[in-house]
């Protein structure tokens, strides 16, 4: 295997010059995330042919060339299951790879199973069984070992031949636009996950509007604190406590103490938590967040089951992994839409899903 470790700005400039005319570049990162909010980048892997370049971010000072490569509209960036890699790029470089292909998503659009890991994909498409020996390696340790570098290089050198097979199948089916849409959707999904963080807390759907406002303020404050201190959000206040505070809406430190907050949290953050609750109490009723929708009635649950079966049949007929089409939450939204509820259509409903899935499923609902 042909790889080169890049640990200074001059060598990186040469690599970027070689990559400049490349139409496609395989990209991967190694990072650590133990006691921090942000992922700690430890290695960047690049490949446009037979050689992998392993860029040591701990030794590189000039990042402008990498930012330019990741933003170059003429070079397609190929990644696999890349949502965490995008977090790395956003924090480290301040840009996201674009345009990009996520080969995990691309595979599901051309008949491969949904959610294939990288090693499973390479084995299915290329017949190559990759070593897992360095999966839990300490990537921030220096110097990197030969085994680490070999492992990291395989993450991009085998990605390109796997992608070429997927690309050939996508082009044969006229689905390259779908593949590129899915790549763009990864970054959009990351941004959407960061909105309304409170609704991702398990149990938030059982809160009333006022309690939900408390939870919203708690989650936004916690996120800001986690970013400022670069500590995991659960170290500030965990989800369970956020939910308990929202339910109880405490007014005094004694009320907080009754919720069994850790003494250190009560001592350092108690006044702030009470202030957030008080602010939520003062919000006018018409400005409160909408509580979760009521559960579907029995009749609508039957319609949802029929819709789920129809979506699976359509996906399989199209040669798409059913899970890659519409999630259960999407199907429930369609049922609610059909019964006249106002819904906020997700961004993933745009593009290829509109004609391939949404139109026939809406027609199916009219027949149910």
Active site residue 30: yes
Quick one: 286 exposed, middle or buried, by C-beta within 10 A (0-12, 13-18, 19+)?
exposed
Q: Which of 37, 56, 85, 134 is catalytic?
A: 85
Q: Which of 28, 87, 134, 239 is catalytic?
A: 28
Q: What is the DSSP string of 161-215?
A: HHHHHHHHHHHHTT-HHHHHHHHHHHHHHHHHHTSSGGGGSTTGGGS-HHHHHHH
Please give the distance of CA 78 from its chain centroid, rounded to a whole number.
16
Q: Which of 37, 87, 118, 151 is catalytic?
A: 151
Active site residue 9: no
Distance CA 175, CA 192 (A): 25
Active site residue 151: yes
Quick one: 115 exposed, middle or buried, by C-beta within 10 A (0-12, 13-18, 19+)?
middle
SS (H, E, C) 207-269: CCHHHHHHHHHHHHHHHHHHHHHCCCHHHHCCHHHHHHHHHHCCCCHHHHHHCCCCHHHHHHH
Active site residue 85: yes
Quick one: 137 exposed, middle or buried, by C-beta within 10 A (0-12, 13-18, 19+)?
middle
Q: Which of 56, 102, 134, 155 is catalytic?
A: 155
Q: Which residues are catalytic?
A: 28, 30, 85, 151, 155
């Amino acid at each position: 295997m042909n790889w080169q470790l890049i640990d200074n700005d001059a060598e990186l400039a040469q690599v970027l010059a070689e990559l400049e005319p490349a139409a496609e570049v395989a990209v991967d990162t190694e990072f650590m995330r133990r006691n921090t909010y942000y992922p700690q980048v430890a290695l960047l892997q690049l490949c446009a042919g037979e050689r992998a370049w392993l860029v040591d971010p701990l030794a590189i000072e000039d990042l402008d060339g990498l930012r330019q490569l990741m933003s170059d509209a003429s070079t397609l960036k190929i990644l696999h299951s890349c949502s965490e890699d995008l977090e790395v790029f956003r924090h480290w470089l301040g840009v996201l790879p674009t345009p990009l292909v996520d080969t995990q998503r691309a595979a599901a659009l051309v008949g491969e199973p949904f959610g294939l890991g990288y090693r499973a994909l390479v084995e299915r498409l290329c017949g190559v069984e990759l070593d897992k020996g360095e999966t839990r390696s300490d990537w921030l340790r220096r110097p990197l070992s030969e085994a680490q570098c070999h492992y990291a290089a395989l993450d991009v050198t085998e990605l390109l031949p796997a992608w070429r097979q997927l690309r050939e199948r996508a082009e044969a089916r006229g689905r390259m636009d779908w593949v590129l849409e899915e790549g763009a959707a990864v970054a959009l999904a990351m941004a959407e996950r960061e909105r309304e963080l409170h609704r991702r807390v398990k149990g938030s759907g059982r809160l009333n509007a006022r309690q939900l406002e408390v939870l919203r303020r708690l989650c936004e404050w916690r996120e800001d604190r986690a970013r400022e201190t670069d500590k995991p959000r659960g170290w500030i206040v965990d989800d369970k406590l956020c939910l308990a505070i929202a339910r109880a809406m405490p007014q005094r430190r004694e009320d907080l103490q009754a919720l069994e907050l850790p003494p250190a949290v009560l001592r350092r953050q108690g006044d702030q938590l009470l202030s957030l609750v008080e602010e939520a109490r003062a919000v006018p009723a018409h400005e409160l967040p909408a509580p979760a929708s009521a559960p579907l009635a029995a009749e609508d649950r039957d319609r949802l089951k029929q819709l789920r079966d129809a979506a699976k049949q359509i996906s399989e007929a199209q040669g798409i992994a059913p899970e890659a089409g519409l999630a259960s939450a999407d199907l429930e939204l369609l049922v609610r839409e059909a019964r006249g509820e106002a819904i906020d259509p997700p961004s993933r409903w745009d593009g290829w899903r509109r004609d391939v899935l949404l139109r026939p499923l809406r027609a199916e609902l009219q027949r149910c």
